Structure 1
Amino acid sequence: MASTQADPGSLPLSVDLCLPHVPGRAACLTLCLFYAALLVLGVLGNGLALCLACRGGKKINSAGVYLVHLALSHLLWTSALPGTIIYYARGFHWPFGDGLCRLTAFLVSANAYGGVYLSMCLSVDRYLAVVRAHGRPRPRSAHQAGLVCAAVWSLVLLQTVPLLWTPLAEPAAGKPTCVEHVGAEPTLGLPLPALLACAIGFCGPVGVMLLCYVAMASKLHRAAQGSPRARRRGLPRRACLLSLLGLVAVGLCFGPYHLHLFQFTVRAALRPPSCAERRAFAWTLQLTAALRNVNCGLDPVVYFFTSTRDRKWLLRVLKLRAFSSSGPGEKLLQKQGGRLGVLAHKEV
């Protein structure tokens, strides 16, 4: 991705001679600020999520194992963000060499695939807890969830490790660039691998999540109709709601990126794209990839902070810290205010 002063329409249709267009300074600064904010939110949100999941006295279950792996995946991805921020701040100029460019692309892709697969595992886990609660033994122990996570990361590595030996730092217009968002560019002549990547990395997991949500919603609806007591239970209903929120988050964040990649790959297989179309695709891929990366900040909110128990624990910690940071006079006023409130409540 490098800037060029040539007219896009005057460039040849050849893949090798078509230089991608770099947006103006304002667009680069916007991307830089966007990823800087995402870096802060990702580190704070996922770091706090890990503290909530692994705090002392809390027994971790199968869902907790998936959530810990999800938070670790996001934190690993944030380690690549400083280089990406510098890249955009310098106007798509990559000063770190081809090795770090490959590592950045690897971390970006591993987090994307791992996030979708782990979200799918969470939906299946909740499906087993709600729909198959009284059925045959199910793989919901922490140990079995750890084995599933090992299989997930093995699949992710199979999909992303080839990036580590694929040259991605390309000189263009006199300066090095980094193709950190690998799209259909390397597979224009091989549309089948790109389509399989979309199917395995997005369509399949989203389809499984949708089926799990529909099955849970149907189960809870039947239970509510047959038993007023089941209607008042909040836990299965919350599990269904969290699965819906996870499905919406994955669809909104990952859907535009994969649909854009899918449609361009199909059109490129039918006819060679023009240089202007390739340049437009590369820029739109940047925007949809930015939307995809928002998932890093959404997951802690969806999966951790919607938990009533985690919210109560966090609020209790914040209140204790606020109380301990206040002076002796402020503590006395707080105690007196609490006593006056109790007396007033008794008089009423």
Structure 2
Amino acid sequence: MEKLDTNTSKEERFCHFSENYKQIYLSLTYSIIFVLGLPLNGTVLWLSWRQNKPWSCATIYLVNLMVADLLYVLTLPFLIITYSLGDRWPFGELLCKLVRFLFYTNLYSSILLLTCISVHRFLGVCHPLRSLPYRTRRHALLGTATTWALVVLQLLPTLIFSQTDYVDGHMVCYDMTSPENFHQFFAYGMVLMLSGFALPSLVILVCYSLMVRSLTKPEEGLMRAGSTARAKSIRTILLVCSLFALCFVPFHITRSLYLTLLYLPAQNCQLLMVASLAYKIWRPLVSMSSCLNPVLYFLSGGNNRVRLFQELRHNKVGEHPAGTKGERPRGEQIWILPR
């Protein structure tokens, strides 16, 4: 997910960092994410819309996850064009604020929705009977609504911090904030990291630790969860842990280190350069979650994969004229400084 870089802070300009790699690296990575993320998330939403039965709790969480991904993916063409132009932002301040806001919205709504999915799976595995009153569609809808409300409230300050400015004669879109507002943004960024990433990660870690302990006890695991539910739980654990290990953890570690070094009064140019490079390399890679989240949908249950193949086969045979072998009735559709 993106962050518009520019010749960022006074410290970086003083240290004479070369960031020419961004023009190729960021344009290429965002293009790949756009090409993969748009059809993958669009397919999941299409399959969910055509589903002939009420959505399960897991489907409600995953559909909201795909909506967040799709909103972000649709902003990537602006970033691709900007980096192709060498960090020039030609779209005005309103779109600058919107693109920044949607990046963080996707990031932290994804983390919170994955937390909801993990808690839901934990209750189903470790407390299958006692948790039945809480594992309902009503509670899933309440959970997603609460998630969106919390994310929007947390991220409202980004609409103030994100802004455009002129650097070396061309307009740039600051990812975090302008250099003069950096000290205020640093405090906000650290609080956001703790509340939006560290705390949900701790909840997920506790849930999965208890699930693994339960599932690795043969008699108790089989008694609490059938073989199908057991396989779903194992897939969920592996996939969510992989998402955090590949996308969210490296991003937040490198970002926190980068911001901390910028905040310190004494600057070590070599250390700052390494932190800046690591952060800006991992920055677009956190966006890979937009391509990996749909995989969670298809691997969370065999029915999702089967339905995809059935829909594709139905569309193919449905091309036959009416009355031929391919015809069949259709069921009713229910339903931070610049980077």
Please give the TM-score of this superposition, normalised by the length of structure 2.
0.82
Structure 2 gap ranges (5+): 327-339
Aligned to 2:145: 150
User: Within 5 A, what are the aligned runs for 1:128-167?
Assistant: 128-167=123-162
Q: Deviations over 1:196-229 (max 9, x none)?
A: 222212221122112111111211222x235877
Structure 2 counterparts to residues 252-263 of structure 1, below 5 A: 252-263=246-257
Give the Å deviation of 1:242: 1.1
3-state SS of 1:234 partner = helix
**Structure 2: how far apart are the matches of 1:203 and 1:52?**
33
* 8 Å CA contact 1:66, 1:121 repeated in 2: yes
Which of 191, 211, 219 is 1:216 aligned to?
A: 211
Counterpart of 1:91 in structure 2 is 86
RMSD between aligned residues: 3.2
- Single out whichever of 38-47 and 129-138 deviates more from structure 2: 129-138
Q: Which residue of 2 aligns with 1:23?
A: 19
Structure 1 residues 239, 226: closer, same or farther in 2, change over 3 A? Answer: closer
1:115 counterpart residue number: 110
2:330 is aligned to none
1:79 alignment counterpart = 74
Kept after mapping to 1: 8 A contact 2:45/2:63: yes
Task: Describe the SS at the equivalent of 2:216.
Answer: helix
Relative contact order, higher structure (CA 8 A, sep 6+): 2
Classify the secondary structure of the residue corresponding to 2:258: helix
Q: How does 1:33-112 map to 2 (within 5 A)?
A: 33-112=28-107
Residue number in structure 1 paired with 2:336: none
Name the CA distance, whole Å, in 2 between partners of 1:212 and 1:80: 33
Alpha-carbon offset, residue 319 of structure 1: 3.0
Deviation (angstroms), 1:236: 2.3
One-letter code aligned to 2:174: V
Q: Is the CA contact 1:77–1:108 (under 8 Å) kept in the aligned structure 2?
A: yes
SS at match of 2:135: coil
Shift of 1:156: 0.8
Deviation at 1:14, TM superposition (A): 4.9
- Aligned-partner residue type, residue 101 of structure 1: C
Q: Residues 120-147 of structure 1: CA distance to partner in whole angstroms, max 9, x if unpaired? A: 1100011111111112554221122111
Structure 1: gaps (5+ residues): 5-12, 333-348
Whether contact under 8 Å (1:77, 1:107) holds in the other structure is yes
Residue 299 (structure 1) aligned with residue 277 (structure 2): no
1:31 Cα offset (Å): 1.9
Aligned to 1:245: 239
Q: Deviations over 1:155-208 (max 9, x none)?
A: 111221222233521211111111236699954467543322222122211221
Aligned residue for 1:9? none
1:116 touches 1:202 (CA, 8 Å); kept in 2?
Answer: yes
The one of 175, 178, 194 equivalent to 1:180 is 175
Cα 1:305–1:40, aligned 2, differ >3 Å: closer, same or farther? Answer: farther
Instruction: Work out whether residues 42 and 297 of structure 1, in 8 Å CA contact, stay in contact via their aligned partners in 2.
Output: yes
Separation (CA, whole Å) in 2 of partners of 1:94 and 1:281: 25
Partner in structure 2 of residue 344 of structure 1: none
Deviation at 1:249, TM superposition (A): 0.7
Say if 1:20 and 1:278, in contact at 8 Å, map to a contact too: no
* Structure 2: distance between partners of 1:185 and 1:318: 54
Q: How far apart, CA to CA, are the structure 1 residues paired with 2:102 and 2:221?
A: 48
Contact 2:186 2:259 (8 Å CA) reproduced: yes
Contact 1:19 1:172 in 2 (8 A): no
Q: How many residues align?
A: 319
Q: 1:209 to 1:73 in 2, by over 3 A?
A: same
Could you say which residue in structure 2 is the equivalent of 1:195? 190
Whether the 8 Å CA contact 1:113–1:156 is kept in 2: the answer is yes
Identity, % of aligned positions: 27
Matches within 5 A, 1:196-345: 196-222=191-217, 224-225=218-219, 233-274=227-268, 281-323=275-317
Letter in 1 for 2:82: Y
